[in-house]
């Protein structure tokens, strides 16, 4: 990305911390563009990026171990301010001649940071002598390299903050990027704003102008195809491309019949009616059902859904010979995670999307206008582009849709029952203000029959399970503690309004050992 529109930039040097992406998000929240580079990156690529400051992330290793990742020593003589966080600080200390040792006690969690002086400038605007910070380390710096000073300590870390006034090199033992360090944002702001003197232009309007200019330059007057799924990323790509190239964009929306209640109509209403985008809806529910017949294993079902999607999409795409580009909703975390190597250059196709493999088939070049953006930035530009909040802030929905929420074989009748139950649950969550408090919520269809009673007669009907989870990263999750009265209300509505359901349960399993989806 050229520097004129996005302003000054920060480079995040990644040692593999679980918080590296969080550092990048915090910097961008401050309006400064940044990218994550692997610790293996070359000095040439770093110089080419032309950062006004460098942040060294934390990492899982110990600097005491031979062969552990290092900062390239030339980085220290680039005359660019450097801030090392946790492992980043320990590597600065060790490499510049200080001493690091394995602490007798691992420090993990909340700690009180005692401010010794304000000389570093990192603590500007912090008036208290003691602040809460988040620690997560085993090693500690015990003696400073030549020319460095200490500016903070904790009970366990005699040197919790260090700096070299002339070289503008700084270190923090704690994590300013996590919300458990309440003044962390101010500390990062002091570094990127004051010390690095970055002028931030990274905001939704500029991101959109830049993307629009890039799309126009890339595709010229050629035609672009986008697979619209109804999810956040493809929705924002559609809105962005429509702004950039108008009716050169054609979208294909494959309705697999496994979507939430009325979802297909909502997608058409938003993009075709409100945005005036050319959207071809392919109602392929029958074909998906046919291909799923007799399949009960979740992975077999996933594969069948993925394959049918590609068949249907390709058939549609081939009808339009004039298409020259394929657009994709790849976002920055996909680029980082799929590359496994954060040198900011790898471009990969979203593997968990059903469109994986399409470019090879189609032999079309790919355009990925969101590939530099985090999810929260995608949502912000979506709002700026006028997309409805219901699309932008919707819970994640798996590619195979209700196909993995109906246990075992999928039948038309089951889909309809599940759609109705799910809709009741979601509407109630929204109404009672719980929807945005949980990370993901949905209903699951269990193809077993249980006895119920209506009036004087017994009925023998299906079971619905409700699932609502709280999670940060979807790798671990816990069941949301929704009020009993709320669950009772949802349960009563589901059983009263859907005669085919005689019992409702609430899933309280954590992940692990359970998963979020039931299949």
- Residues carrying an active site annotation: 86, 175, 177
Looking at the Cβ atoms of 28 and 405, the one nearer to ligand XMP is: 405
Residue 403 touches ligand XMP, criterion: CB under 6 A: no
Residue 443 CB, nearest approach to ligand XMP (Å): 13
How far apart are CB 515 and ligand XMP at their closest, in Å?
3
CB of 212 to ligand XMP, least distance (A): 28
The answer to the question of residue 69 lying near ligand XMP (CB under 6 A) is: no
Which range, of 22-30, 54-62, 498-506, 509-517, touches ligand XMP by CB under 6 A?
509-517
CB of 228 to ligand XMP, least distance (A): 15
Judge contact between 134 and 172, C-beta under 8 A. no
Whether the Cβ atoms of residue 167 and residue 160 lie closer than 8 Å to each other: no
What residues numbered 209-238 form the site for ligand XMP, per CB under 6 A? none
Dist CA 193 CA 69 (whole Å): 28
x/- map, 452-481, ligand XMP, by CB under 6 A:
----------------------x-------
Is residue 515 close enough to count as binding ligand XMP by CB under 6 A? yes
Q: Which residues of 339-364 are buried (b: 16+ CB within 10 A; e: fewer)?
A: eeebbbeeebbbeebbbbebeeebeb
Whichever of 176 and 399 has its CB closer to ligand XMP, that residue is 399
Applying CB under 6 A, among 188, 329, 398, 504 the residue interacting with ligand XMP is 398
Region of residue 515 (phi > 0: left; psi between -120 and 50: alpha; otherwise: beta): beta
Q: Which of residues 258-297 bind ligand XMP (CB under 6 A)?
A: none
Instruction: Please identify which residue in the block is written with the tokens 């109804």.
Output: 230
Tokens for 424, please give them.
Answer: 């009741």
Binding of ligand XMP at residue 511 (CB under 6 A)? yes
Stretch that binds ligand XMP, among 64-72, 143-151, 397-405, 413-421 (CB under 6 A): 397-405
Whole-angstrom Cα distance, residue 47 to residue 37? Answer: 12
When the beta carbons of 424 and 441 are compared against ligand XMP, the nearer one is 441
How many other C-beta atoms can be found within 10 angstroms of the C-beta atom of residue 453? 9
8 A C-beta contact, residue 431 and residue 482: no
Nearer to ligand XMP by Cβ, of 193 and 329: the residue is: 329
- Using the minimum distance from each CB to ligand XMP, give the nearer residue, 169 or 232: 232
**Binding flag, residue 400, ligand XMP (CB under 6 A):** yes
Which of positions 167-206 make contact with ligand XMP (CB under 6 A)?
A: none
Which residues pair with residue 198 across a beta bridge? Answer: none
Applying CB under 6 A, which of residues 260, 295, 301, 302 lies at the interface with ligand XMP? 302
Q: How many residues bind ligand XMP (CB under 6 A)?
A: 13
> For ligand XMP, what does the binding mask look like between residues 345 and 384, x meaning CB under 6 A?
-------x--------------------------------
Shortest distance (Å) from residue 302 CB to ligand XMP = 5
Interface residue with ligand XMP, options 20, 21, 94, 440 (CB under 6 A): 440
Tell me whether residue 67 or residue 512 sits nearer to ligand XMP (CB atom): 512
Q: What is the closest distance, in whole angstroms, from the C-beta atom of residue 432 to ligand XMP in the complex?
A: 22
Helix ranges (DSSP H) in 246-297: 263-268, 285-292
Q: Are 379 and 436 in contact (CB under 8 A)?
A: no
Residue among 98 and 399 whose Cβ is closer to ligand XMP: 399
Nearest approach, Cβ of 512 to ligand XMP (angstroms)?
Answer: 9
To the nearest whole angstrom, how small is the minimum distance from the Cβ of residue 258 to ligand XMP?
Answer: 12
Q: Which is nearer to ligand XMP, 355 or 367 (CB)?
A: 355
- Minimal CA–CA distance to 426: which of 415, 439, 446, 442? 442
For β-strands 99-115 and 440-454, DSSP reports them as unpaired
Query: Measured in whole angstroms, how far is the alpha carbon of residue 355 from the centre of its chain?
Result: 19
CB 62 within 8 A of CB 101: no
Of 97, 165, 396, 483, the one binding ligand XMP (CB under 6 A) is 396
Indicate the pairing of strand 169-172 with strand 478-479: unpaired
Among the residue ranges 205-213, 319-327, 424-432, 510-518, the one whose residues contact ligand XMP (CB under 6 A): 510-518
Which residues, in sequence order, are CB contacts of 245 under 8 Å at separation 6+?
215, 216, 219, 224
Nearer to ligand XMP, 29 or 517 (CB): 517
| 3 state SS of 297 | coil
Beta bridge mates, 304: none
Which residue do the tokens 């009672």 mark?
432
Q: If residue 112 lies in a helix (H) or strand (E), which one and from where to where?
A: strand 99-115
DSSP states of 158-183: S-SEEEETTTTEEEESS-TTSTTSTT
Instruction: Please give the structure tokens belonging to residue 310.
Output: 């590609």
Question: Which of 46, 188, 327, 516: binder of ligand XMP (CB under 6 A)?
Answer: 516
DSSP-derived secondary structure letter, 345? -
Q: Strand 149-153 relative to strand 161-164: parallel, antiparallel, unpaired?
A: antiparallel
- Closest contact distance (angstroms) between CB of 470 and ligand XMP is 12
Secondary structure of residue 316 in the 3-state scheme: helix
Residues that bind ligand XMP (CB under 6 A): 302, 352, 396, 398-400, 404, 440, 474, 511, 515-517
């Amino acid at each position: 990305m050229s520097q004129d529109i996005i302003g000054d930039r920060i480079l995040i040097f990644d040692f593999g911390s679980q918080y590296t992406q969080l550092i990048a998000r915090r910097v961008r929240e401050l309006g400064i563009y940044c990218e994550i580079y692997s610790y293996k990156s070359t000095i040439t690529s770093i110089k080419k990026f032309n950062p006004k400051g460098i942040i060294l992330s934390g990492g899982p290793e110990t600097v005491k171990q031979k062969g552990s990742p290092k900062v390239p020593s030339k980085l220290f003589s680039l005359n660019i301010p450097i801030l090392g966080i946790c492992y980043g600080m320990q590597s600065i200390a060790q490499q510049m001649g200080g001493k690091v040792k394995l602490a007798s006690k691992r420090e993990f969690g909340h700690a009180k940071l005692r401010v010794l002086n304000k000389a570093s400038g990192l603590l500007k605007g912090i008036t208290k002598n003691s602040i809460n910070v988040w620690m997560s380390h085993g090693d500690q710096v015990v003696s400073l390299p030549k020319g460095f000073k200490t500016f903070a300590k904790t009970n366990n870390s005699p040197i919790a903050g260090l700096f070299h006034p002339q070289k503008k090199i700084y270190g923090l033992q704690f994590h300013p990027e996590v919300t458990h360090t309440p003044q962390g944002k101010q500390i990062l702001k002091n570094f990127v704003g004051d010390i690095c003197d970055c002028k931030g232009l990274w905001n939704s309007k500029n991101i959109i102008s830049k993307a629009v200019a890039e799309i126009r330059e890339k595709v010229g007057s050629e035609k672009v195809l986008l697979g619209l799924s109804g999810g956040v990323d493809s929705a924002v790509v559609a809105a962005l491309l429509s702004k950039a190239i108008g009716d050169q964009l054609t979208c294909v929306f494959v309705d697999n019949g496994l979507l939430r209640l009325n979802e297909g109509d909502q997608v058409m209403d938003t993009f075709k009616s409100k945005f005036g985008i050319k959207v071809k809806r392919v109602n392929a529910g029958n074909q998906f059902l046919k291909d799923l017949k007799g399949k009960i294993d979740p992975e077999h079902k996933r594969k069948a859904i993925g394959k049918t999607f590609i068949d249907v999409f390709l058939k549609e795409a081939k009808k339009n010979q004039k298409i020259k580009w394929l657009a994709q909703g790849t976002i920055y975390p996909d680029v980082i995670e799929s590359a496994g190597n954060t040198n900011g250059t790898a471009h990969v196709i979203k593997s968990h999307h059903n469109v994986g493999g399409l470019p090879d088939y189609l032999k079309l070049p790919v355009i990925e206008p969101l590939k530099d953006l985090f999810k929260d930035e995608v949502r912000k530009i979506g709002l700026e582009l006028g997309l409805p909040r219901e699309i932008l802030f919707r819970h994640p929905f798996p590619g195979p849709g209700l196909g993995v929420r109906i246990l075992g074989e999928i039948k038309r009748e089951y889909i309809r029952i599940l759609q109705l139950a799910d809709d009741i649950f979601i509407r109630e969550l929204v109404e009672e203000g719980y929807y945005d408090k949980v990370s993901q919520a949905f209903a699951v269809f269990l193809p077993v029959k249980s006895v119920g009673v209506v009036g004087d007669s017994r009925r023998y009907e299906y079971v619905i399970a409700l699932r609502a989870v709280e999670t940060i990263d979807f790798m671990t999750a816990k069941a949301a503690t929704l009020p009993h009265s709320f669950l009772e209300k949802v349960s009563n509505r589901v059983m009263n309004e859907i005669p085919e359901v005689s019992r409702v349960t609430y899933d309280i399993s954590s992940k692990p050992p359970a998963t979020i989806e039931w299949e």
